Structure 1
Amino acid sequence: MIVNLLLRFLLEIATLAIIGYWGLQQGNSYLTKILFCTGLLVVTISIWATFGAPKASLALEGISLLTLELVIFGIAAVILWTTLKPAMAVVFVIAVSINRVLIYFFNSFY
């Protein structure tokens, strides 16, 4: 089960890296690129830390948590797909799906 939790952690880090990478591609100057990247990461981390993390102050459960995961991981998958990396997007979606099924099956979310 530890392997699945490690995979989950790596998928979360990958999601942040994907969103940050996309943020760096936006804007016309270095300043706007860094502001866009930083802003997206702050918003994503804040939402996840508030609602999605196991020890979150307002932790979601059940379908609400699944919806939040679908939105955040889905955004990362769409970013991969639209940045002309569809194969990586497919692998990412498969990894997230398998991980989520195993978390449900073993009833262990962190």
Structure 2
Amino acid sequence: MATDYGPLPVWAVIVAAGVATFAIRGSFVYLFGRIDEVPASVTRALRYVPPAVFAALVAPSLIVVEGSVAVGPGNERLLAGVVAAAVTWYADSLLVTISVGMVTLWLLRFVV
């Protein structure tokens, strides 16, 4: 991809982004190195980070099909995701959830 920018501004942005990323990560190392115990409110809030990240990664792939939003009976991935969510709610087993979700997806895609 060609741009009108020369190599100096491009490298300056790359270095600035790297320094900013390093500073943000280093600040947490410094912060948690100075405190003896993580407050209970922070611990409670951090419990919700993995499910939120997982939902942010998975939800777009369930809803967006071929570049457009597809919410309805024609979206096999969304239906299989709903079935997998229901199974994980009751079974509480990762292996069972993945297995049922994949079997549902395959059945919806190739049989129905």
Structure 2-normalised TM-score? 0.32
Higher RCO, 1 vs 2 (CA within 8 Å, ≥6 residues apart): 1
Q: Which has the higher helix share?
A: 1
Which of structures 1 and 2 has the bigger CA Rg? 2
Structure 1-normalised TM-score? 0.32
